[in-house]
A and B are shown apart, each in its own frame.
Chain A
């Protein structure tokens, strides 16, 4: 076992429930590196939603909540308000974050509450058998869209931006060092920070949507389709179809943070 795993993973929960080659594991790996570098292992609390992705905090030996489907951000909001000095990080699947949990997501961004949300985007409902998600590409085949998905997907980063998030980055499992760095920046950022991690799901998205359950082939697709945000502006919308724009997409400090606002108000009233 890697020394970071030795130090931080919850041995009783291992091996992880992830299928072989599941990109969620690379996100876990990147997160441990970010935590180590920031030195916050003793001062964090993690909240997971429901889904394969929602298990991520369970594997980490720290204060964790394995919450309800879609409600991870709601629970994290309460946790942050109760213990504002903690670094609170949410791990949420694409279904968890922008389908059933979409309302919590936009309102946490609107409030600019100092949480970090890591969305593990495999473009599908992995755990429940490969149903269509709000992130499933247009016309993609899933178990519930056998003739192709008639819906247009969300771009979760743009949704976060419009709702008021103040830090946004997106990376795939093909850029694990950048992913870890983005998590560090997000955790250090004061305000609502969002890191979309685009991951391979060999078992569901791989088999039904991308025609292969090979983690290596899916990883290579993610790598080949990644376009740096700095280059994306030069491409036409047609050229960007099917591409994944990666990089830091937003970092700004011009909006007040919610937790400070709440404590500031209660102080003013002498509470």
Chain B
């Protein structure tokens, strides 16, 4: 299973990652981050295909998808 990390210190709650995910893995959280934003939360991680749309779109580089085999996708440039 892929792992998805959202960094609440830098996320600005724009919800682009939620909108671009073809698998509807993410949804809006009901709680605000320490910065006051309604950050996304990972709702259906099983459905994540690791396509990286979310992390390539994030304007604040606050979401990271760590692929199953532990391979960080930093080289998926």
Residues of A within 8 A of B (CB): 1-5, 7, 9, 14-16, 18-26, 28-30, 32-34, 36-37, 173, 176-177, 180, 184, 215-216, 219-220
**Cβ contact within 8 Å between B75 and A37:** yes
Chain B residues within an 8 Å CB radius of A9: 61
B residues 1-37 touching A (CB-CB < 8 Å) = 7, 9-10, 12-16, 18-20, 37
Known A2-B74, A176-B53; further 10 A-B contacts with Cβ < 8 A = A4-B61, A15-B60, A26-B59, A29-B58, A33-B77, A36-B75, A37-B75, A216-B14, A216-B19, A219-B19
Q: Which residue of A lies closest to B19 (CB)?
A: A216
Residues of A with C-beta under 8 A to B10: 1, 5, 14-15
Chain B interface residue count: which class? 20 to 34
Name A2's closest neighbour in chain B (CB-CB). B61
Residues of A within 8 A of B49 (CB): none
Given that A2-B61, A176-B57 are contacting pairs, would A21 and B74 also be in contact in the complex, using a CB cutoff of 8 Å? Answer: no
The closest CB in chain A to the CB of B63 belongs to A2
Beta-carbon contact of A21 and B59 below 8 Å: yes
Contacts of A34 in B (CB 8 A): 77
**Contact across chains for A15 and B12 when beta carbons are under 8 A apart:** yes
Closest 10 A-B residue pairs measured CB to CB?
A25-B59, A21-B14, A37-B77, A33-B77, A20-B12, A5-B61, A176-B56, A2-B61, A216-B19, A20-B14
| Assembly CA distance A227 to B4 (angstroms) | 32
* Given the contacts A216-B19, A219-B16, A23 and B59 also touching, CB distance less than 8 Å: yes
What are 17 A-B contacts defined by CB distance under 8 Å?
Answer: A1-B64, A2-B55, A2-B62, A2-B63, A2-B74, A16-B60, A20-B12, A24-B59, A25-B59, A26-B56, A26-B59, A29-B55, A30-B56, A34-B77, A36-B77, A177-B56, A184-B77
